[in-house]
Structure 1
Amino acid sequence: MRKRPLIVLSTVAAATLFLAGCSGDAAPESSGSPSPSADASCLADLPSGAGSDAVTVEGSGSAAKVTVPADADLAQAERSVIVEGDGEEVLPGDLVSLRYQLVDATTNEVLSTSERGPDGVLSALLPTQQPQQIVDPTQSTVFTVAAECLPIGSSVVLTLPAAQEGANPSVLYVETVEQLPTIASGSDVEPTEGAPAVELDDEGAPTITIPDGDAPAETEVVTLKQGAGAVVGAGDLVTVQYRGVKWSDGSEFDSSWGRGAVPAQFQTSGVVTGFRLALEGQKVGSQVVVTMPPKDGYGASEGNELQNESLVFVVDILATTPIEQAQ
């Protein structure tokens, strides 16, 4: 499947990975990055410097006022810790909630902020790949560089030199709020008769057993765990764990669990219809199993190996970002 990068920060008020697949006709696909171990290294481990130390922050959360002095030297990418938290250490690949502001360092204008999210808090899946450059605020790795290897509850400023000639440097202010679960956290729901059976191992990875009989002619969504978080809206950016198998023989064809259990993140408008129907209207923390006929899967994708297959996905819904922040 083709991968399409999702431009973030200046146009999307969220820290995201990549949007996978082709709009409207693809299932999700993660970056393929392995899950970091407990001793995972920082991607950049930026030091503080005169430029980042000169930035002042008054207040916190959505009310924080970030000020960059006119004479601040922002020729280098630097990170200064404003407050060091007392929670678990944040590592590349973690799923965290955060608040942020991106500020034009020349005008002190706020270019992008998390304030439109619930209570000004957004979910961030921190990329695990090395940044090619740290100066570009449209790359999601800047969130990793800002938050990595510091305890939850920390706040930092990250200086970003001008990405190109004629552009202004910028400053990213980030507060990490909470480390989020990477499997569904909702309450168990009684199984639905006739639906695919799902068993979870100790890590939360699902095994799917296909029932006898023909696949349903229409997409069917069954809730296995009922979450209590935000509702996924049309076109939202969602963070999920998932496993997909064929109804015909139960064989797996795609899974975030098969790629080191690193969650995937994508927009609901960028996946096949059946997968979108499984997500929109559900609450964060839920786990669902969706069975879709070819018409809601890859039926229109001539030559695709799954074109004539009915598909079954188990999906853990971990986070969502509202559509108005994704435009």
Structure 2
Amino acid sequence: MRRRTAVLSAASALAVSLLLGACASEGDTPSASEQSASASASANAIEPAVTDDALPVIVEGEVNPTVKPTVTFTPPLSVTETSRKVVAAGTGQEIESTDEVQFAYTLYAGSTGVELDSSYGGTDARFELANITMGLARGFVGAHVGDRLVVAIAPEDGFGDQVSTFNQEGVDATTTIVMVADVVRVIGDRAEGTEVTPPANLPAVTYDENGVPTGFTVSDPTPPADTVVQPLIQGSGPALTPGMNVQMQYVGATLADGQVFQSSWETQPFETQIGVGGLITGWDEGLIGQTVGSRVLLVIPSAKAYGDAPTGGQPAGALVFVVDILDGY
């Protein structure tokens, strides 16, 4: 199952637990199979919000996740069914209940009109809809990338007693929460872009019937003098820079025999900071400058991997990786 740690603006740190909804208590963390089953059940249970073009919320300003729009409504505003209107229609793909969505948002208390939290001008929110508060998920399902939405979240789909985290008078579990959101994109589960033909002497990536990388065919096991960086798919997203948070899928093998030692495709995407010394040098150097959406082949000499005699159980010698860059921010 794909799991995501939300990284929001400083002001948004307060809302993380609310956006995610109720979480398992410490010491009661479900197993991977239980998490997967729970997420699947949640995704299947998500019904789109009711369309209500008459929602009395006025939103002014261009659709732009970096600039907070002006929002006006007369409190108290309450709904008994989570409702949505599209203020500005996007032209991107339709959002499904199993998607992970990147969006900018502001939350308001329907009871008082007070702004509770906002990500505009900071880091966009990124959440899997199966793991987010139901009212928010219902607001996004069936919408489109590029939409600006108003979602009035009914109390039964809302944050429950966790809404007290906002520490606002007149805001409790019975309060309708109003969200204004700009849908930036759906975060894909694999590379997407323009295919690039690599040189014939490099390891060739093998794939399963669904197009998922599974390993390599190595025709020349000679270690390179320096890291070889070869895009296989050129994505159109932002280029990675040092310090970025990056989400990736990858397969790694030893160059000498093409033996796979690890694959994130068998577990979940790998999330880390790039270019800050927390990864092997071949990754930290080789992925900087590559773009989100790309699939990149890395052939890394021993000196920029784990060395010839690692002591922590890591593979020795030169390594080869294929990396799908799903997100970077």
Same fold by TM-score, threshold 0.5 exceeded? yes
Q: Give the equivalent residue in structure 2 for 1:28.
A: none
Q: 1:212 to 1:302 in 2, by over 3 A?
A: closer
Instruction: Specify which structure has the higher proportion of helix.
Output: 2
Is it true that 1:148 corresponds to 2:141 in the alignment?
yes
Q: Give the equivalent residue in structure 1 for 2:282.
A: 274
Provide, for residues 80-100 of structure 1, a one-character-per-residue CA deviation record: whole Å limited to 9, x for no partner.
Answer: 3121968654234425554x2
**What pairs up with 1:160-175 in 2 under 5 angstroms?**
161=159, 163-164=163-164, 167-168=167-168, 171-175=178-182
Q: Give the equivalent residue in structure 1 for 2:151.
A: 157
C-alpha distance in 2, partners of 1:45/1:300?
54
Is it true that 1:113 corresponds to 2:116 in the alignment?
no
Q: 1:284 to 1:87 in 2, by over 3 A?
A: closer
Is it true that 1:184 corresponds to 2:191 in the alignment?
yes
Aligned amino acid, residue 95 of structure 2: V
1:284, 1:320 within 8 Å by CA — same for their partners in 2?
A: yes
Q: TM-score, normalised by structure 2?
A: 0.63
Provide, for residues 3-31 of structure 1, a one-character-per-residue CA deviation record: whole Å limited to 9, x for no partner.
Answer: x98453343989x9xxxxxxxxxxxxxxx
Aligned amino acid, residue 204 of structure 1: G
Q: Secondary structure at the match of 1:276?
A: helix
Q: Secondary structure at the match of 1:254?
A: strand
Q: What is the CA distance between 1:47 and its match in structure 2?
A: 7.4
C-alpha distance in 1, partners of 2:11/2:261?
31
1:230, 1:283 within 8 Å by CA — same for their partners in 2?
A: yes
Which has the greater radius of gyration?
Answer: 2
Q: Give the equivalent residue in structure 2 for 1:198.
A: 205
C-alpha distance in 2, partners of 1:256/1:187?
23
Q: Secondary structure at the match of 2:10?
A: coil
Tell me, which stretches of 5 or more residues in structure 1 are unaligned?
17-31, 135-140, 322-327
Q: TM-score, normalised by structure 1?
A: 0.63
C-alpha distance in 1, partners of 2:323/2:118?
30
2:247, 2:326 within 8 Å by CA — same for their partners in 1?
A: yes
Select between 280-289 and 244-253 the one with higher mean Cα deviation.
244-253
Q: 1:183 to 1:43 in 2, by over 3 A?
A: same
Q: 1:228 to 1:150 in 2, by over 3 A?
A: closer
Q: Give the equivalent residue in structure 2 for 1:82.
A: 85
Q: What is the CA distance between 1:290 and its match in structure 2?
A: 0.9
Q: What is the CA distance between 1:282 and its match in structure 2?
A: 1.1
Q: Root-mean-square deviation (CA), in Å?
A: 4.7
Provide, for residues 167-195 of structure 1, a one-character-per-residue CA deviation record: whole Å limited to 9, x for no partner.
Answer: 23675422335546543333333323542
2:234, 2:293 within 8 Å by CA — same for their partners in 1?
A: yes
How many residues are matched? 282
Q: Which structure's relative contact order is higher, taking Cα pairs within 8 Å and 6+ residues apart?
A: 1
**What pairs up with 1:177-326 in 2 under 5 angstroms?**
177-179=184-186, 181-200=188-207, 203-206=210-213, 207-216=215-224, 218-259=226-267, 263-268=269-274, 269=276, 271-298=279-306, 303-306=311-314, 308-321=316-329
Q: 1:70 to 1:244 in 2, by over 3 A?
A: same
Q: Give the equivalent residue in structure 1 for 2:59.
A: 57
C-alpha distance in 2, partners of 1:275/1:142?
39
Aligned amino acid, residue 85 of structure 2: I
Identical positions, percent: 30
Q: What is the CA distance between 1:296 and its match in structure 2?
A: 3.7
2:236, 2:293 within 8 Å by CA — same for their partners in 1?
A: yes
Tell me, which stretches of 5 or more residues in structure 2 are unaligned?
17-34, 172-176
